[in-house]
Amino acid sequence: HSHAPGQPGHTHGPPQGQGMQQQQMVMRAPDPVMQAIIEESYVPVDIALGPPDNVTALCGPHQLEKCAECDLDFVNLNRLSRLLHLNPNLRCPPPPTVVSKNLSLAIANTKEEGNAFYKRNQHEKAIERYNLAINIAAQRPQWEAAQVMREELSTVLSNRAAAFLEAGDYIGSLVDAEAVIQLKRGWSKGHFRKARALVKMERFHEAKEAIELGLSFEPGS
């Protein structure tokens, strides 16, 4: 545009110094040592893109998410990819301190429904609700702290072990008790659940050992 007589002239280019800043933002050349390591370890993989909307990876020859013949497993990668696809505003996974409150609420509510059935001696229905709570807990995103899932699963599995015991499925109760111990070894309740199942199976010596181990972690329980 023109300037009236007497007005100082000025330029319309970028502010002074901005051009230099843009030059400084030029991407640096890759470190040759690191580049050599990457190229040496690079192994090309024949992949195909799958649903939804080509956001999942499949083995090229067999179109499988997990393929033993190709020795490929994209299950965890695809789980993260689907989560990001369903949340387009999420540019990257949040920090592990962020926990899905909706999942936590769904797990807690489903577990309490199971507890209510258990108290009414409706053990099969209680087991069904505990099964659902476990399935929901297993859907936690990979970027959330693993401790959250361990706490939820150990509690629900402990409750299901009790329901299995009351339903007469002593093996199922023992398996769940062992799972609780694997998830939370220092929690005496898992050892107690294991001991009760072993008593029902008349494996009294093993039951005594389970109780003793549990008490060694929590003597006052």
The DSSP result for 173-220, as a single string, is HHHHHHHHHHH-TT-HHHHHHHHHHHHHTT-HHHHHHHHHHHHHH-TT
Cα three-residue angle 127-151-161, rounded to 5 degrees? 30
What spatial distance separates the first Cα and last Cα of the chain, rounded to whole Å? 85
| Kind plus residue range of the DSSP H or E element containing 150 | helix 146-166
Instruction: Kindly indicate the confidence band of residue 24, based on its pLDDT and cuts at 50, 70 and 90.
Output: low
Instruction: Kindly indicate the confidence band of residue 125, based on its pLDDT and cuts at 50, 70 and 90.
Output: very high
Nearest-angstrom CA–CA distance, 42 and 177: 44
* Predicted confidence (pLDDT) at residue 154 exceeds the cutoff of 80: yes
Instruction: Kindly indicate the confidence band of residue 167, based on its pLDDT and cuts at 50, 70 and 90.
Output: very high
**Peptide bond just before 52 cis, omega within 30 deg:** yes
pLDDT of residue 96: 56
Report percent pLDDT > 70 for the chain. 82
pLDDT in tens, 175-204: 999 999 999 999 999 999 999 999 999 999
Contact assessment for residue 162 and residue 193, using Cβ atoms and an 8 Å cutoff: yes
